[in-house]
A and B are shown apart, each in its own frame.
Chain A
Amino acid sequence: KAGVTQTPRYLIKTRGQQVTLSCSPISGHRSVSWYQQTPGQGLQFLFEYFSETQRNKGNFPGRFSGRQFSNSRSEMNVSTLELGDSALYLCASSFGPLAGGSNEQFFGPGTRLTVL
């Protein structure tokens, strides 16, 4: 069965621009979570979507937003990019919501975003 796919794998943008990242979960999975990975802050939870509804959100500014479609695919958008947004953005899918850790999350390879 195909794993979690993320597109694009690499992206270069300039400050002030906006960017949209895409994540296709494993077939049958209805929960998608997004994480930001940087050398300084490590791995930080951005948000979780389940059945097209945002179920949970991390401590990120409103410039970071996301959505989930009826086929469970998810997109993440970052507006007005800042240099500090340069990071590896990871998407993870699971069959059910991240409730008490009962549903295993499967991670994609990530999208490497560089902001110049």
Chain B
Amino acid sequence: GDSVTQMEGPVTLSEEAFLTINCTYTATGYPSLFWYVQYPGEGLQLLLKATKADDKGSNKGFEATYRKETTSFHLEKGSVQVSDSAVYFCALVPNTDKLIFGTGTRLQVFP
């Protein structure tokens, strides 16, 4: 069935380090792909999305490119800040029209 696999956390980085959080998916057809972020004590917020192959989503310095050949949607940021500490969820909407989430990756950024 449709699923999302993302790297286990926590990911621990120093401020200004480069961030990559891996995400791969299994789905038939051409799903839309998303990254959501959940800050402590808050609900989820949409960070970025891509709806077709080779699309690049970007927001707040974060980027992810929809790679159909590798079924991946890795999240990257060139220089993380302490305020980026949160849990990041990769998700997809396949042709069943259900939002399917990965397990989440906790990011901890230290000054």
Binding site for B on A (CB under 8 A): 4, 33, 35, 42-45, 48, 55-56, 58, 90, 92, 97-102, 104-110
Q: Contact at B49–A101, with CB atoms within 8 Å?
A: yes
Chain A binder among B7-15, B71-79, B100-108: B100-108
Q: Contact at A101–B93, with CB atoms within 8 Å?
A: yes
| Tally of B interface residues using CB under 8 Å | 27
User: Which 10 A-B residue pairs are closest in the complex by CB-CB distance?
Assistant: A101-B32, A101-B93, A107-B43, A43-B101, A107-B44, A42-B103, A45-B98, A109-B43, A108-B43, A98-B97
CB<8 Å pairs between A and B, sample of 18: A4-B43, A35-B101, A43-B89, A43-B91, A43-B104, A44-B101, A45-B98, A48-B98, A56-B98, A58-B98, A90-B44, A98-B98, A99-B97, A100-B95, A101-B49, A101-B51, A108-B43, A109-B43
Pick the residue among B36, B44, B93, B100 that contacts A100 (CB under 8 A): B93
Give the A-B contact count at a CB cut-off of 8 A.
Answer: 63
Chain A, Cβ-Cβ closest to B4: A42
Report A-chain residues with C-beta under 8 Å of the C-beta of B36: 107
Q: How many whole Å from A113's CB to the nearest CB in chain B?
A: 15
